[in-house]
Structure formats: structure tokens, C-alpha cells
Amino acid sequence: MTIAHYTNGQRPKNKNCEKLTLAERLQIVREAFGFGGHRQQSAFARKLGIGHTSLNQLESGASKRLGRSIEAYLRIGANPEFLLFGKGPPVLRDSPLSKIVVKMAQLSDDQLASIAHSVDTFVKANAEPTILHPHAHSKPAKRRAKRVVR
């Protein structure tokens, strides 16, 4: 399958990227960064900090060792949601989220766990109350007093 060249980190028109393999999405990310064609794989591999052979294996689907390579993609600004699910633009450019993702890719597992806990705490403290049932806030029904017959 030949994948068209993409510019400005945007998703190709009329292309359902959610159905593409991870290998195909990795190729789209490379092309979105302006490294289209197989001849530019070496330059992109250097940008990622991995070898040309490793990049070739990633883009062909032959690689089973994805961890560090995916971290490299995130470090340069690839959209994690696009990499994993094919949603959104391939590249996050100049967005606050891209800056956060780049910085988080450099953290240890312990640091990431601490941040996840802090975010969960923040979300819980600032979340709007949800109504589980439409009558949840109504007054309780009054009980009728039993009539005692003497």
C-alpha cells in the first residue's frame, strides 16, 4: 500500500486512518514531518535517534520492540492518539498538548505514576457533580402515618 505524502501534520483526506496498521501510521507520521519517500528514512531515523534498519522494521511491521521507538516518536511531537488509534492529526504542532507529551516522554515510570495520581486528584476535585437519576435531587416522599383503630 502506498501512502500519499502529508503536509502540515494533517490527516489525509478521505482516509480512514483507524483501519491502518501501526506500521502504516508510523509511515504517515514520518511523511507528516516532511521525510517522505524511502530515501529519507535514514534522515528521519537520525531525528528519532534510532537506526535506519530499526525504522525500516517498524514501518514494515516486522519489529516487535516498539517501546523505545514509540517514545522517540512522542518525543519529537507525534500524536499518541494517532499512533495508537488512528485518530486526530499525525503530528501535534505548537499545541500545549504536544509540549506536555514531549516532556512526559522523558520522565521515568515513577514520575509518570505521580503525575497520573495528581491529575486524577485534580479532576475529582474540579469535576461537576453528575446526576445519576433525574429524580435524584427531589425531596423524599412523605410517609403516611398509619391510622390506629381503637
DSSP class per residue in 74-135: HHTTB-HHHHHHS-S-SB--S-HHHHHHHHHTTS-HHHHHHHHHHHHHHHHHHPPPPPSSTT
Please check the confidence at residue 127 and state whether its pLDDT lies above 70.
yes
Convert the pLDDT of each residue in 21-30 to its tens digit.
999 999 999 9
Q: Give the pLDDT confidence score for residue 147 in this predicted structure.
A: 63
Convert the pLDDT of each residue in 100-125 to its tens digit.
766 777 788 898 889 888 888 888 88
| pLDDT level of residue 142 (50, 70, 90 thresholds) | low
Mean model confidence pLDDT for the chain: 77
- Round to whole Å and give the CA distance between 146 and 100: 65
Provide the CB-side half-sphere exposure for 9 (13 A, CA).
Answer: 16
pTM above 0.95, yes or no: no
| pLDDT level of residue 5 (50, 70, 90 thresholds) | very low
Convert the pLDDT of each residue in 60-109 to its tens digit.
989 877 888 888 898 888 988 899 899 988 988 766 766 776 677 778 88
Q: What CATH architecture does domain 18-113 belong to? A: Orthogonal Bundle (1.10)
**Spans of all domains in the chain:** 18-113
Q: Give the pLDDT confidence score for residue 11 in this predicted structure.
A: 47
